[in-house]
Amino acid sequence: MHKPLAGIKVLELARILAGPWIGQLLADLGADVVKVERPVVGDDTRTWGPPFVEGADGETLSASYFHSTNRGKRSVAADFETHEGQAVVRKLAAHADVVIENFKVGGLKKYGLDHEALSALNPRLITCSVTGFGQDGPYAPRAGYDFMVQGLGGIMSLTGEPEGEPVKTAVAFADVFTGVYGTVAILAALQGRHATGKGCHIDMALLDTQVSVLGNQALVYLVSGMLPPRMGNEHTSIVPYQVFPTSDGHIIVACGNDGQFQKFCGVLGTTWHLDPDYSTNPGRVTRRDVLIPLIAAETGRHTKADLLARLGAVNVPVGPINDLAEVFSDPQVVHRGMRLDLPDPRAKGGTIPSVRSPIVIDGVPMAAETASPQVGDHTQSVLADPAWGG
């Protein structure tokens, strides 16, 4: 299949997660993504282990963290601190369609590699700048870290048990979402360039993204003026919609309407659905403190397998809480090919694992076919490539 971004050249001057996530997603969609790294040490996340990918001869081939967000790219080693390294970046930028960078605000200006300078060489250039707080405002000079942004941006006030401490997500929530939104912005800018013939500067901020994805919880506050509480695994406006115990673990039950609650009661052998206090969702939400312990006591009499089978058979939304071993052995996940094993003769076993993007176009999963590069793997080939001015 001819991938939709084939022929698009992306220069990645980014490291850690949000910027590289953009580059990896564009590579999955067919773009030629060239990642410029510091000689020898490369992207910071190459050392963020263990675990490390093991080489065929027992050496390490960078941390798993690095491999989670850099497949499908080519690596060029260049030192921004030197005139030679700056010249390499300018040469590549002159032929690129997109530059991704996540330096602090103004961080590239001292090297003459900021959007204004590079777009003077290439007016069609689209630059996506990823920072913690954006290009302007009182926080603009600050460094941005996902954990801090989760706290500042409100999600931690909503996550965790009511009586416990606020909790961050286990995945870098703001970073990954910024990567996704940054990709959308770049695709929109490429489309816009068809009409104007000119590039543009995209300003992506982790805090903006974190606030944006507060979603319905933000509107609870903006509409009512009330602060949504931390509710653990419970839902603010639907009952029952949470984790429940079984005799051998836990399951998720998500009754989104009264009909599903009626079926749920039928499986459990109860008559709560006939009680006017619980027959409608508003009643159940109002009286959750009484109803939830009753449900938990009843589900605790059954095994996970029993409830998953019986509730699933009557179309009550129910599911397990899988660990990652169970996730990657789940028949649906296996069928959809979410795990990738990308060839690399330097790796032990000849492949490096990866997780594909969720995008499927005309039945073809959008995933790059090459593993993450080692530092400078492609310096000579990229600089000699006519498409990049070689």
Instruction: Identify whether 308 is part of a domain.
Output: yes
Classify residue 69 by its DSSP letter. Answer: S
Same domain, 141 and 251: no
Domain hosting residue 311, numbered range? 241-323
Same domain, 188 and 302: no
Query: What is the longest distance spanned by two Cα atoms in the chain?
Result: 78
Residue 327, classified by CB atoms within 10 Å of its CB into exposed (0-12), middle (13-18) or buried (19+), is middle
Given a cut of 90, whether residue 1 has pLDDT beyond it is no
d(CA 186, CA 22): 9
Same domain, 17 and 163: yes
pTM as predicted = 0.94
Percent of the chain residues topping a pLDDT of 70: 100
Quick check: is 175 catalytic?
yes
pLDDT tens readout for residues 94-139: 999 999 999 999 999 999 999 999 999 999 999 999 999 999 999 9
Instruction: Identify whether 114 is part of a domain.
Output: yes
Instruction: Identify whether 287 is part of a domain.
Output: yes
Same domain, 295 and 339: no
pLDDT tens readout for residues 169-209: 999 999 999 999 999 999 999 999 999 999 999 999 999 99
Same domain, 311 and 358: no
Give the other-Cβ count within 10 Å of 40's Cβ.
9
Same domain, 279 and 377: no
Which of 43, 175, 344, 377 does the annotation list as catalytic?
175
User: Is residue 8 classed as helix, strand or coil in its secondary structure?
Assistant: coil
List the CATH number of the domain containing 302: 3.30.1540.10
Please identify, among 323, 350, 368, the residue that sits at the C-terminal boundary of a domain.
Answer: 323
Average pLDDT on 70-94 reads 97
Instruction: Identify whether 249 is part of a domain.
Output: yes
Percent of the chain residues topping a pLDDT of 90: 98
d(CA 131, CA 102): 6
- Phi and psi, residue 249, nearest 5°: 150, -145
Same domain, 173 and 259: no
Instruction: Identify whether 173 is part of a domain.
Output: yes
Position 269, amino acid: G
Same domain, 57 and 200: yes
pLDDT tens readout for residues 296-355: 999 999 999 999 999 999 999 999 999 999 999 999 999 999 999 999 999 999 999 999
pLDDT tens readout for residues 63-73: 999 999 999 99
Query: Residue 63 pairs with which residues in a beta bridge?
Result: 52
Position 98, amino acid: V
Confidence of residue 236 (pLDDT cuts 50, 70, 90): confident
Count the domains in the chain: 2
Instruction: Identify whether 165 is part of a domain.
Output: yes
Same domain, 303 and 365: no
List the CATH number of the domain containing 61: 3.40.50.10540
Average pLDDT on 280-287 reads 97
Integer angstrom CA distances of residue 173 from 145, 147, 158, 181: 11, 9, 14, 12
Same domain, 310 and 338: no
Same domain, 203 and 340: yes
Rounded to 10 deg, the angle between the 288-299 and 258-268 helix axes is: 40
Helices (H), the chain: 18-28, 64-67, 83-93, 115-121, 146-152, 173-196, 206-212, 215-224, 258-268, 281-286, 288-299, 304-313, 324-329, 331-335, 379-383
Mean pLDDT of the chain: 97
pLDDT of residue 338: 98
Please identify, among 291, 323, 355, the residue that sits at the C-terminal boundary of a domain.
Answer: 323
Same domain, 316 and 339: no
Average pLDDT on 378-388 reads 97
Instruction: Identify whether 146 is part of a domain.
Output: yes
Please identify, among 304, 323, 342, the residue that sits at the C-terminal boundary of a domain.
Answer: 323
Containing 10, the helix (H) or strand (E) segment is: strand 9-13
Instruction: Identify whether 224 is part of a domain.
Output: no
